[in-house]
Amino acid sequence: MTAAFPGQERAKHMGELKRGDRRWDVYVETLPDGDLGAVRGRIHFVGAGQDRHHMTGWVFLEPTDRDIYERFGEFSAVELWHFLEGLDGI
């Protein structure tokens, strides 16, 4: 089971990244923005068995949660690794 992280109750598990012995569970958290009538989204990387957590800023702003999940699906694994490397310094 993945360790809890802030915003987990609003997050959807999108899959995992693997490279060598490292494995990260990837989540997208969404949060409605009533002022804009849209939904914000950010990506969480939770290190499996490492008790490590990194997250992006609010990188998505779309009309619905579904639109955010579709946009997330446009990222390749390589692009997600770039996000994580930028956050983790690995």
pTM of the predicted model as reported, rounded to 2 decimal places: 0.89
Identify the pLDDT of residue 87. Answer: 87
For residue 26, which of 50, 6, 42 has the smallest C-alpha distance? 42
Residue at 3 is within a domain: no
Q: Is residue 74 part of a domain?
A: yes
Does residue 19 lie in a domain region?
yes
Q: Domain tally for the chain? A: 1
The parent domain of residue 16 ranges over 8-88
pLDDT tens-place values along the chain, 90 residues long: 455 788 889 999 999 999 888 899 999 999 999 999 999 999 999 987 767 899 999 999 999 999 999 999 999 999 999 989 998 765
Q: What is the DSSP string of 34-60?
A: TTTTEEEEEEEEEETTTTEEEE----E
Does residue 38 lie within any of the structural domains? Answer: yes
Does residue 2 belong to any structural domain of this protein? no
